[in-house]
Chains A and B, each alone.
Chain A
Amino acid sequence: MRLYLSCLSLLLGIIFCHGQNKQLLYNVNGLPQSLLNNPGANVNFDGHIGVPLFSKFHISTGSSGVNLFDIFDDSNSDVNKRVSAAIRRLTRNDYFTLHQQLEILSFGWRLGNGQYLSAGVYQEMDMFAYFPKDPALLVNEGNNAYLNVPFDFSDVSFTGEIMTVYHLGINKRINNKLTIGARGKLYSGIFNVASTNNSGKFITRDDPNSPNFYRHFAENIDIRVNTSGYASLNNSGMTVQESTRDLLKRSFFGGNIGAGIDLGATYNLADNFRITGSVLDIGVMYQQHDVENYLYYGDYETDGIEPLFPDVVPNGSTIPYWDIFEDEVDENLKDETLNENYITWRPVKFNAAIEFGFEEMFEVCDYRRTYKRRNYNLIGVHLFGVKRPRTMNYALTTYYDRKFTNNFRAKISYTVDDFSYYNVGLLVSTKIKKFNFYIAADNLAGYFNLAKSQSASLQLGMQFIFKKQ
């Protein structure tokens, strides 16, 4: 059964895996950060406090279809040919991501009833953009080679947000088999931009029945870019100090707010065999402050400007053909800037994993602790998904987690996602008495030459972890 599930998951992963995730920290129950990936994790410590600003730093970036080397290969002098080739090769579903988290505060403690409370504050940035295939082709090559071929503006789809997250989570053992957890989150928005669900096509047709060589069509154009936290910085003429003060204010609920929840669970099928799962950031942001929406919509078609002969009207003045044309365009293709509130959903994520342990070990018995690691070795399969504007993006990871000593563990992972089929990651976590330091890096092969890598991810942090003897 296990083999069957693994093979099925691997197959699914290879077929349609995409995405970025924190697979190296998932199911690492000795680290408090695993609670951020699964509030129902079987954590095996009794308290923690992170070194402020240093307990977790995470950055990951990815490009599903192109890397630096594809464009800037120094053995080939014609960079423009490579840019054009890349634009042609990329599809509208290729995407670029940039994700960053900085934990500001992090702490937690076990209550007398055995439940574990954890809380903290972190700052998060998440940028995501699909490759705007058709607009990029139009800008790079023009319409000359694409007569009668529509340029589809629905290819434009991107989101971006910067926020501070305040969270409080609880982790509770229901019985020997089941542990559940939940985490409430309050979001304090600093910046948001969202342009999804755009539509419209631009076509140049050479229909022999039309009066001119070409007829240009702008059909069902409906483009909207929502922003919050952008207009005031863009237009106010604030100094750097004033802008910084404003950004800090937004970090403390001085701007847009939202709320969300994480849910997670661990179920022990046997002492050495468990399944875990979580859903993160089921949350919504209400964008109400400093909101600006940029709209462009309408339909228009033209064969060109039609002079009437002669060029004077009866009162002797010339006919302003161009002004008439511009007015007609403006009437039919509207360009508006509004200040309408809007709602954004957080990119919801899910994790699911099965894990099997072997080579038994022994720990001091403590009935309050929800989980005692029973095996030196853990292997598992982990499926991660994140909701993006068009679809869920997935990543599938298999891993081997080894506890070498009480103070040192390492985890090696292999991930298949949209960026690479050769993503091998490594996490090491070490303790000196109560002080813990961990570092995790994905796609290690890519670090030898980042130019040829389509993704890179790094997580590190330090904290104090307390465990009753």
Chain B
Amino acid sequence: MSFVKPLKTPILLLLFSVVIFSCVKGVDLDQTEEIALTPDLQVSLLVFDVTNTDFIDKDTGEFTAVIRDTVRLEFLDDSYIQDDLNNVEFSFRYTNSFPQPFRNKISFLSENDRVQHSLEFEINKGEKDNPAVTEWIEFIENERIDVIKKSIKMVVEIEVLPNEDAFEGELKFESKGLFSFEF
């Protein structure tokens, strides 16, 4: 078998050189710094359904044209919002079977109740069997995103705009936020 002996050194050298001179090429590992996760999260926010009885003042029993409620959105203060929120698109939808239109105001307040952002629109009047749907989309782009980051409360205020028709019906509210992050 003497003819195979000369193979010993080349085989050893081959294996050593393959292992020792192994390399990583064609890649740029500095790109790790550019890696960003960019989830778009759809989140339900507030939802409610009011009828004419909700416009009766609980203390006095009198009709009141304006009702409002405030909800703290504590997650707006979390680090992933403060550090990584890029933009947000709010969607609001009212389904109104009252024969009256409403004026709607939605505000985002800071901890000390300063208005950071607000929007107003009119809710179309509907009919008992044919409710009117009013939709509103509010996009807060990256340049203005601080108004959301500084907010912690969301206030919904509804004012009925009376007319001759009987005040009877149902007003449904739906809302969601499409939060776009860049982690």
Interface residues of A (CB under 8 A from B): 68-69, 71-75, 79-80, 83, 138-145, 147, 204, 211-216, 302-311, 314, 318, 320-322, 326, 376, 402, 404-405, 408, 410, 426, 428, 430, 439, 441, 444, 447-452, 456, 458
Contact = CB atoms under 8 A, between A and B. Distances in A.
Nearest to B178: A144
Contacts of A147: 42
A83 B5 contact: no
Contacts, number: 178
A165 to B, nearest CB: 26
A214 B22 contact: no
Chain A binding surface, main DSSP class: mixed
A221 B5 CA distance: 64
B37 A139 contact: yes
Nearest to A67: B27
Nearest to B152: A322
Interface stretch (B28-36, B96-104, B120-128): B28-36
**Central interface residue in A321, A426, A450, by most chain B CB within 10 Å:** A321
A216 B44 contact: yes
A153 to B, nearest CB: 16
Q: How large is the interface on B (under 10, 10 to 19, 20 to 34, 35 or more residues)?
A: 35 or more
Nearest to A145: B40
B66 to A, nearest CB: 10
A420 B68 CA distance: 64
Interface string B11-30: 11011101101111111110
B40 A211 contact: no
A322 B70 CA distance: 10
Contact of B58 (A212, A310, A430): A310
Given A310-B58, A310-B68, A447-B18, A143 B41 contact: yes
A212 B44 contact: yes
A403 to B, nearest CB: 9
Given A147-B42, A305-B71, A439-B15, A73 B47 contact: no
A309 B67 contact: yes
Nearest to B64: A310
Nearest to B33: A79
**Central interface residue in B28, B67, B181, by most chain A CB within 10 Å:** B28
A228 B123 CA distance: 59
Interface string B60-73: 00000001111111
Contacts of B46: 304-307
B166 interface: no
B19 A439 contact: yes
A80 B26 contact: no
